[in-house]
Structure formats: C-alpha cells, structure tokens
Structure 1
C-alpha cells in the first residue's frame, strides 16, 4: 500500500515538475533585449592598467574576454592582468544578468578570494557599479566608445574626496565565440 501511494504521488508530481522547467519566453525576450544594450563590450580587449595599493602603484597589461551565453540572456566576463614579467597578477570572473521582474542589471563577481552580487547601472556610454568596502565604497565607472573600453575605480570614504585606485584603457582586439564554443555535445 505504501509503495502504491509513493508511486501515485510521484506520478502526480511529474506534471508539476515538468511545468516548473518550462521556459518563460516573455522573460527570456525581456532579458535578451536588455542584454543587447551591452553588445559593445563583447569581444577580446587588451591595454594598460594601473592599480594603486597600499604598497604602491602596479602597472599591468589588462585583458578582458567577454561573451554572450544562454541565448543572449547572460554576459560572461573574464579579466586577467599580466605583470611585466608575464605572470598573472589579477584574475577575475563576472556574470552580468538582467532581472526582468525588477528591471535591474546585476553583476556576480569573483576575484582574489572575494565574491558578491552587485547592482549594475547602465549609463549612456557604459555602466557603473559599487562594491562595499567597510565604511567606504569602491565605485567603478566603465565607458565604451570607438573601440575603447575605459574604466576607473575610486575609493569613496565618508568625509573624504574620492581616491583613484584603478584605471584601465583597453582596445578591442577581436571577436570571441567564448563561452559557447567547446560545450559538451549530445554524443
């Protein structure tokens, strides 16, 4: 009898589970339209970057690899900075998404042992986003124009003027089919 109840419960639950997995085409369309506004950042980028730390100024060659994923509903970003000796001095990964319900953009960021989810605000030429840093905030501002990606990061503490801690100027060097290429196939 118990087995029959479990089988019936499982059979009745299948349509509900299948329903939960059905694609929400209206939401997908809204996400695709919103993410299309970030198309200028897709591709491979390279250029000089400067980071100011308590130990002083660090100059690097910054690279960014940016690709569209999940039918254009997600933008993935890999940032990697190379030191003068060729060693990797910084490596980060981000996923930018659009929440159609709240009509807001979000970046999930992972770098240097830290991670978080931060609201991204679009501007006429790019975006801004902020990372809490104790009583202060680190504010990033990015702009895309003429094949250039410029971005700054300012440390903003209460009662103090903003202090520049990061700056990069990248040139677009090519297209990329990352991350779609190389996915597991049916066979």
Structure 2
C-alpha cells in the first residue's frame, strides 16, 4: 500500500512539473489569486429551488422543479455546483455537477460540467451580476447566460446556429432557500 501511495505521489509530481515550471507564483499565491477570483461568484453560494422549463425539439414545453447547491472547496479556490431536476411526482430527472475554476496564469475561468453521461471543460465568462458559458456542438453553439441578484438566479439556454436567430430552449428561475456547508463541510477526520 505504501509503495502504491509513493508511486501515485511521484506520478502526480511528474505530471504537474511542466505546469509548475510555467508559473512563477508560489502555491499559496496561486491559491490566494484563485480565492480572490472566486469572490465574484459568492452570490451563488447556498441552496436554491425553483422552476425550469425546457422546450423540446418538437416545441413541447416540459417543466421541472430545479434545485442547485453551490459551495466553495479547496479553501475557496473553486466553486462546486450540483443541479438536480425533479419531475412533478418527485422522481429525479436530471443531475449535473459543475466545477468552476480560475487559472491565475491565464487569468481565465472555466467550468468542467458533467451531466447525463457527458463531460466537458468550457470557458466561463463573468458578466455583470452573473456568468455565461458555451458548449460547442458541431456547427451549433449552446449558450447559457445566468444572472444572480437579490436572491434570484435566472438562467437561460439558447441554441445558436450560424446565420440564424438564437432559439431559447431553457429558462430557469430559482430563489435562494438557505445556506450549505457542501462540499467542504464534514470532511473525513484523520482519526
């Protein structure tokens, strides 16, 4: 077991060596820069609930109860976002996890998103009172735009085809319902 752990640590250091050599910042400085960058998303922290409406390709609308929980992790250096969508009967219909990060070297935000068996890493752009992110999908782009203000999180999703008007397929309005210690709360203790 110790040998496997030592090999894992050595491999981790070997893989991270190129990235470490590209930055002149000490780890504490990088983490402080990440923590400062995450401050602009502080309004997301907590638990949220509301309605989300999806417009299916056939034009039919489908409404679910959407919940989100958001919290800082790794000493506030990143944000984790878990979304759950529930049908009217309470059945879980959708579950997604997003991890918002900031790279001090490139001064850029990104979000790794995992949902419905798909995973991707996408550029996330801060906008006044919120954020936007896009998913390239062949010739189409899926763009999500969110505003978070006064305890209300409103997010829309549009399908964008070159030369055509955007088509709105997602509209969500949530209200903040509480605080959470997730994901940093209740870590496994050493003993």
Query: For residues 129-151 of structure 1, what are the alpha-carbon distances to aligned partners after superposition, in whole Å with 9 as ceiling and x for unaligned?
Result: 00011210000000011110000
The answer to whether structure 1 residue 106 and structure 2 residue 99 are counterparts is no
RMSD (CA atoms): 1.5
Q: Counterparts of 1:96 and 1:68 in 2: how far apart (Å)?
A: 9
1:27 pairs, out of 30, 33, 40, with 30
The answer to whether structure 1 residue 82 and structure 2 residue 82 are counterparts is no
Q: Which has the larger radius of gyration?
A: 1
2:151 pairs, out of 147, 150, 157, with 147
Aligned residues: 169
Q: Does the residue aligned with 1:86 lie in a helix, a strand or coil?
A: coil
Residue 113 of structure 1, CA deviation: 1.0
Name the counterpart of 2:4: none
TM-score by length of structure 1 reads 0.87
The answer to whether structure 1 residue 94 and structure 2 residue 98 are counterparts is yes
Name the counterpart of 1:48: 51
TM-score by length of structure 2 reads 0.85
Which segments of 5 or more consecutive residues in structure 1 lack a partner in the other structure? 1-13
Which segments of 5 or more consecutive residues in structure 2 lack a partner in the other structure? 1-9, 21-25
Q: Counterparts of 1:35 and 1:157 in 2: how far apart (Å)?
A: 32
Q: Counterparts of 1:111 and 1:62 in 2: how far apart (Å)?
A: 14
Name the counterpart of 2:170: 166
List structure 1 segments (4+ residues) > 3 angstroms apart after TM superposition: none
Residue 54 of structure 1, CA deviation: 2.3
